[in-house]
Structure 1
Amino acid sequence: MQNALGHLSIGEGHGALPPATTFVLTGGNLSMKVKNNIHWVGKIDWELRKFHGDEYSTHKGSSYNPYLIKEEKVVLIDTVWGPFAQEFVENLRREIDLDQIDYIVACHAENDHSGALPELMRHIPDVPIYCSKNCAKFLKGLYHQDWNFQVVKSGDRLSLGSKELVFIEAPMLHWPDTMFVYLTGDAVLFSNDGFGQHYASAHMFNDLVDQADLFQECLKYYANILTPFSPMVTRKIKEILDMNLPLEMICTSHGIIWRDNPSQIVEKYLQWADNYQENQISILYDTMWESTRVMAEQIAAGIREVDEEVTVKLYNLAKSDKNDVITEIFRSKAILMGSPTLNNGILVSVAGLLEEIKGLKFKGKKAGAFGSYGWSGEAVKNISQRLTDSGFELVDEGLRLTWSPDEEGKKTCREYGKSFVQSL
């Protein structure tokens, strides 16, 4: 079947899906049959609330998804995060004699995928690890071990008997070492961080979970992690499409597995990578004595007076989750950012978010700045400069008001909101 993506051939799937996820209890953890001889042997992390240190919020937990393929040759694709290393190895031993593992594939060196490697390699130190050149370098840097690395590149193949693994390098999605792996015969793409999300579920398949939750977490994951690499996302997807591979399932390294119409998440990635925006304006601010908050609310009222169709969302940055806010920026065609002036500068929550979005390299979005002040008023100028440095197109010079807005000041804010939306 050829779909709207072009050459990518997607299995129908509908009507042929198992009615539920089938788990097997293995020593307190769960293993799961994914398809034929492919088994998920990972860890569902229900308690996870922060990831990448404290950089990424995971309100719905996550999972670490290694896969064990039992063909004529047995291969393990990735492991789990370090805190679960011993548990992972113990459960893996209940699934298979470790000495029966012929190969290990490391798609990505980051700790959440490779953390259990040191513990696993204590038991099978000579098993070859197939990975990209950068991955071998990074694993040596992380764990200071010279394991039996077998460096592969795009197009290389590894025979498992009647089926083969095809290696597809995917640098900067989202590390320089990242690699996808495709299993012939079963038409399964092991995509590592690509197409994944931080989402803990006992069901594990996309057709069995809440679709609103699923796509919200996918969007958040893309917005916060993959946005800077959007050009590479587009190129890599088109490269895979041109390989004309049949594809019936995408096995991610976090969250759910795409078995029902896996092309839907590929199509979403192509949309999100193309300077994505919705008809939304996000107003982001912090406030000391409520003056800047009042400005934000009045600006929002002015926008709505002119355009009833546009979605307007307000976030106090001192009280909002930054990753959720970044997701809303990703959705927005324009943002307004406000802060009172403090020590000739801006409040720390505003400064922190500006630093985050500079690194994310948003494209095709417009912006403006606002804020109240007492006697100097540099905040608006500082915000405007940082927005420009981050790639946003400034609509105007921004809006400054002294002290707390009176009725005339509130009217000025509403007029500013009208002018802002009319200029988009």
Structure 2
Amino acid sequence: MDDYEPLKVAEGIYWVGVVDWNLRDFHGYETPKGGSYNAYLVIDEKIALIDTVKAPFAEEMLKRISQIVDPSKIDYVISNHVEMDHSSSISRIMEIAPDAKLFASSKGKTGLYEYYKEEGFDDWDLQVVGTGDELSLGKRTLMFIEATMLHWPDSMQTYVKEDKILFSNDAFGQHIATSKRFDDEVEDVMEDAAIYYANILLPFSSQILKYVDKLGELGIGTDIMIAPAHGVIWRKDPAKVIEAYGRWAKGETSEKVLVLYDTMWGSTEKMAKEIVEGVRSAGVEVRLRHLRKNDWSMTMKEVMESPVIAIGSPTMNNKMFYTISGFLTYMTGLRPKGKKFFLFGSYGWGGGAVKGMEKELESARFEMPVESLQVKFRPFEEDLEDCKAVGQKLAELAKEEAKY
């Protein structure tokens, strides 16, 4: 595959997106594996472009399209989602194909206007579509599905009925950069999908359960191909990721305790390690993550999968450590459901870290059934014994709270 070669997804259907090899941050979500912006071209009696790419990559997308068809011949442009990584090349496409008709959801139309009212929006022929609306391309039929809050109000998806291909936009994606385009060609794709879900879609789990039911009502089963806007296309076993979305949306967890912490002079770290030892001694899986040495996106996957989470912080300037504060802001915004928290930490002449964490979690309405633990300056033998005992208690709590 050369630099600008399109890829055939099915007869007459092509991937014309781009790979962003250097992407390392996606609006605060760490992406150590890079990413992609997927766009798809459907060739029939009419030509449809489904989604576009981030603006800096527009010319690369156009080079791929040009190897299949003159871009000015595009008849229809489908905007499944107005977020800039998908829509910011639309004005360029509409400039090249001014006679093309643009399709979006009702809220998509509003969003496109807000973004592009100074870039030609008033000249675009835009039609609003909703769930069940169809567009004939000739031999193929596109059906539109509103996917409200997956993960923006305007989100929708496009289904090619004859080929059974669901262009799912931000659902079922992953942030990875790879020259391969299909799930059976890439290792660890389910883990990447879980990380993506935990950092993008976790707050919208209740809507996802309704969405999965909606697919069934529309007659869309698991014998399909799923082509998301990020990452690889699910062709081998799409049922696997659909079923995983159901589990994640229901908040299913295993018997596991996650211990998160940061440390200044090692005191909080000693406490964290002793808590880990207590959990382990009780026969329950445990994970330990230092928040300055592990990326938060992977950490959120661990949060999603763990029913019990312990968080430890040293005190600095009478407050919790800055990494803990930042992570709590990030995590509470993603609103993981059904978690039980335990808080611990250390302080010198004045406390504040544990109290600050408690206040943050209480305001977000998270439960803390085990009393917090803190030590002054450093943990001594008695303190470490208390930490181990807490670990054992958290292990028992994880056994009670795990949901399969």
Q: TM class, shorter-chain normalised? A: over 0.9
**Partners in 1 of 2:139 and 2:394 — Cα distance?**
62
Question: Which one of the candidate residues 343, 346, 362 is aligned to 1:369?
Answer: 343
**SS state of the match for residue 315, structure 2?**
coil
Distance 1:340 1:73, change over 3 A: same
Question: Which one of the candidate residues 118, 123, 132 is aligned to 2:96?
Answer: 123
Matched, 1:252 2:195: no
**Partners in 2 of 1:391 and 1:208 — Cα distance?**
42
Unaligned runs of 5+ in 1: 1-22
Matched, 1:289 2:262: no
Matched, 1:61 2:34: yes
Instruction: Give 1:415's aligned residue.
Output: 389
Unaligned runs of 5+ in 2: 399-404
Instruction: Give 1:325's aligned residue.
Output: 299
Conserved 8 A contact 1:30-1:43: no
Aligned residues: 393
**Partners in 1 of 2:382 and 2:368 — Cα distance?**
25
Question: Which one of the candidate residues 313, 321, 326 is aligned to 1:339?
Answer: 313
Conserved 8 A contact 2:75-2:99: no
**SS state of the match for residue 339, structure 1?**
strand
Question: Which one of the candidate residues 341, 345, 356 is aligned to 2:330?
Answer: 356
2:161 counterpart letter in structure 1:
T
Instruction: Give 1:89's aligned residue.
Output: 62
Conserved 8 A contact 1:384-1:397: no
The Cα shift of 1:64 comes to: 1.3
Instruction: Give 1:241's aligned residue.
Output: 216
**Partners in 1 of 2:56 and 2:189 — Cα distance?**
26
1:177 counterpart letter in structure 2:
D
Instruction: Give 2:402's aligned residue.
Output: none
**Partners in 1 of 2:259 and 2:217 — Cα distance?**
41
Conserved 8 A contact 1:340-1:377: no
The Cα shift of 1:397 comes to: 2.2
**Partners in 2 of 1:262 and 1:399 — Cα distance?**
45
Question: Which one of the candidate residues 384, 402, 411 is aligned to 2:376?
Answer: 402
Q: Deviations over 1:376-414 (max 9, x none)?
A: 322212212322333432122200111111222222221
The Cα shift of 1:83 comes to: 1.0
Structure 1 runs of 4+ aligned residues shifted over 6 Å read: none
**SS state of the match for residue 219, structure 1?**
helix
**SS state of the match for residue 354, structure 2?**
helix
2:248 counterpart letter in structure 1:
W
The Cα shift of 1:68 comes to: 0.5
**Partners in 2 of 1:354 and 1:245 — Cα distance?**
38
**Partners in 2 of 1:205 and 1:40 — Cα distance?**
11
Distance 1:417 1:71, change over 3 A: same
TM-score calculated relative to the size of structure 2? 0.94
Q: Deviations over 1:18-70 (max 9, x none)?
A: xxxxx4x4xx3120110111111111222222212xx1111222221111101
Conserved 8 A contact 2:257-2:394: no
Conserved 8 A contact 1:285-1:293: yes
Instruction: Give 1:271's aligned residue.
Output: 247
Matched, 1:158 2:135: yes
**SS state of the match for residue 197, structure 1?**
coil
**Partners in 1 of 2:194 and 2:333 — Cα distance?**
18
**SS state of the match for residue 6, structure 2?**
strand
Q: Deviations over 1:302-359 (max 9, x none)?
A: 2222x22x22111111222111111111111110111122222111100111111111
Percent same amino acid among aligned pairs? 41
**Partners in 2 of 1:157 and 1:378 — Cα distance?**
58
